[in-house]
Amino acid sequence: MRKMAKLSVVATPIGNLEDVTLRALRVLRECDVIACEDTRQTHKLLAHYDISKKPTISFHGNSGEKGFEKIIALLEEGKHVALVSDAGTPGVSDPGQELVSRVREHFEGDVAIEAIAGPSALAAAISVAGLRAASFMFYGFLPLKKGRESLFSEIVESERASVFYESSHRIVKALESLAARLPDTRRIGVFRELTKLHEEAIIGSASEVLARVMADPNKQRGEFVVIIEADTRR
């Protein structure tokens, strides 16, 4: 009897390579192939833990239909595929979400899908924020153009905390949009390069945070998680 195929969704470090679970390392060693957002990035982790001989394939947001078909074909062969992103948990603001959906629909339960839990920039930022975020709305990466400003208006009006990811290219514009809308009594937090050498948290009003980021170009580098605390006036 052919063994059941398996798709393991494996969380990997968001910066510090020590932030990986023993289970994740075991799965990466045992699987038949690793589907990576960027094989070069994943090979750094694999080499660090002497797993560099494991076969890898590329799967990312631009892989298109061929990317989905390649992984589904491997699962049809009964393979054990481990899915990883460049950093953090696949499926969180990541094409892995669509892959899992397609695998479930295609195989109708004939493939085992397991979560190998671990690092997440979202959870890491909230854990050290100290902001009022008992409940929150997560937006992932905001759209580049269409609907971006309307989302900022929605965030400002929300009674819940709001969280989104931002890149170095757009962090200043994002903070400018928030500073133009938020009162100084409502705090935000910008978390840069979490778990990495230059990890930093900047907390204050949107205007204060914008000023600090604008004053130092180094604070505009890296990857960001932005948290807008809940509006307690309502």
Strand ordering across the sheet containing 136-141: 136-141, 161-167, 223-228, 187-192, 200-205
β-pairing verdict for 161-167 and 187-192: unpaired
The pLDDT tens digits of the residues spanning 26-46 come to 999 999 999 999 999 999 999
Q: Is the pLDDT of residue 72 over 60?
A: yes
- The DSSP letter of residue 181 is T
35's tokens: 């589907």
CATH number 3.30.950.10 is the correct assignment for the domain at 121-228:
yes
Q: Is this prediction's pTM over 0.85? A: yes
Distance CA 207, CA 213 (A): 10
| Average pLDDT taken over every residue of the chain | 93
Distance CA 141, CA 16 (A): 22
> Which of 47, 45, 68 has the alpha carbon at shortest distance from 57?
68
What 3-state DSSP class applies to 175? helix
Cβ atoms 193, 223 nearer than 8 A = yes
H helices of 86-145, where?
Answer: 96-107, 121-129
For the chain, domain boundaries: 6-116, 121-228
What per-residue confidence (pLDDT) applies to 182? 95
Average confidence (pLDDT) over 126-139 = 92
- CA separation, residue 143 to residues 14, 88, 128, 140 (Å): 22, 20, 26, 9
H helices of the chain, where?
Answer: 22-30, 39-48, 64-76, 96-107, 121-129, 148-157, 171-179, 206-215
Q: What share of the chain is helix, strand, coil (3-state, %, to 5)?
A: 35, 25, 40
> Which of 24, 150, 153, 171 has the alpha carbon at shortest distance from 90?
24
What per-residue confidence (pLDDT) applies to 210? 98
Average confidence (pLDDT) over 197-206 = 95
Q: Is the pLDDT of residue 56 over 60?
A: yes
Distance CA 187, CA 185 (A): 6
CATH topology for the 6-116 domain: Cobalt-precorrin-4 Transmethylase; domain 1 (3.40.1010)
